[in-house]
Structure 1
Amino acid sequence: MTGNTHIVGGIAASLAYAQFTNHDPIIMLAAGVVGALLPDICHTGSKIGRKLPLLAKLVNKLFGHRTFTHSLLFLVMMAAILNAFMPFEAVTAGILVGMVSHYLLDMATKNGIKLLFPIKLTVRLPITTKTGSKVETIVFSALTLLSFYFGYEAFRFYL
């Protein structure tokens, strides 16, 4: 999936999660976007990879694309690091929810992800599409609508 689809996926997922918690939806939204982009630090052409090119090159050289940073191992490591050093639970939750949304969206592509890294098994959903396809445009549109719905629900008490 493209960076924009990951961003809107992170927004939709974090705002949906905020519906079931007492976390601040603004913090969840921002952290969800960060988490939705974070797994692609292994790809120098990604939104985050272009912002941190040296780190992206290093991670890509060590692991390749859609392996370690797209795995449950990375998710658990990030959860441990964030729980140890991040004083704001909403930030931790938002980042992790954004990462999970990224994983699910990439599992919906033909290339899938190495979810169980270091095991070399590729995991993908039963129905897949190509990155940048018309189907991805439909997914992007649906996630945008969900973002508006969950955003309205999360922020209606401010209105």
Structure 2
Amino acid sequence: MTGKTHIIGGLAASLAYAQFTTYDPVLLVGAGVVGALIPDICHGGSKIGRTFPLISKLINVIFGHRSFTHSLLFLFIVSLLLKSFVTNEAVTEGILVGMVSHLVLDMMTRNGIKLLFPFKIRVRFPLTTRTGGTVESLVLAALSVLSVYFGYEAFGVYLQ
């Protein structure tokens, strides 16, 4: 999936998650968008890879693309680090929700992800799409509609 789809995916997922929490939705959603970009640190051409090129290159050389940073192991390590060093639960939860949305979206691609890293098994959905293709555009549109719906629900109190 492309960066814009991951951003909207993180937005939609964190807005949906906000429906079930008492966290500040602004913090939760902001962190969700950031979290949705983190797994692609392994790809130099990604939004986060271009922001941190040295780290991106190092991770890519060691692990490759869609392996360690797209795994449950990475999610677990990030979760431990966040819970140890970030005092705001909304930020921690938002980042994790965004990261999960990223993994789910990349499982929709033909190459899938190495969700069970270090095992070399690639995990993907039975029906997949090509990154940047028409189906991804439809997924982006659906996530945009969901973001508006969940955004109204999350921030509707502020609009009245």
**TM-score of the superposed pair, with normalisation by structure 2:** 0.99
Query: Matched residue of 2:130: which SS?
Result: coil
Deviation track 1:10-35 (CA, whole Å, cap 9, x = no partner) reads 00000100100111111111100110
Residue 116 (structure 2) aligns with? 116
Q: What corresponds to 2:20 in structure 1? A: 20
Query: 1:126: Cα distance to partner?
Result: 1.1
Distance 2:33 2:59 in 1: 20
Unmatched segments (≥5 aa) in structure 2: none
Query: 2:135 matched to 1:129?
Result: no
One-letter amino acid of the structure 2 residue matched with residue 141 of structure 1: A
Take 2:23 and 2:112, find their aligned partners in 1: how far apart are those partners?
31
Following the alignment from structure 1 to structure 2, what is the Cα–Cα distance between the partners of residues 112 and 23?
A: 32
What CA distance in whole angstroms lies between the structure 2 residues aligned with 1:148 and 1:114?
31
Query: Residue 135 of structure 1: SS of its match in structure 2?
Result: helix
TM-score (norm 1): 0.99
Q: Secondary structure at the match of 1:14?
A: helix
- Tell me which stretches of 4 or more aligned residues in structure 1 moved more than 2 Å: none
Partner residue, 1:76: 76
Equivalence map 1:10-89=2 (5 Å): 10-89=10-89
Gaps in structure 1 of 5+ consecutive residues: none
Provide the C-alpha distance between the structure 1 equivalents of 2:94 and 2:21, rounded to a whole number of angstroms: 11
Over aligned residue pairs, what C-alpha RMSD do you find?
0.4
Distance 2:92 2:72 in 1: 16
Alignment partners' CA distance in 1, 2:48 and 2:127 = 27
C-alpha distance in structure 2 between counterparts of 1:10 and 1:3, whole Å? 10
Identity of aligned residues (%): 67
Describe the superposition over 1:83-103 as per-residue Cα deviations: whole angstroms up to 9, x where unpaired: 000000000000000000000
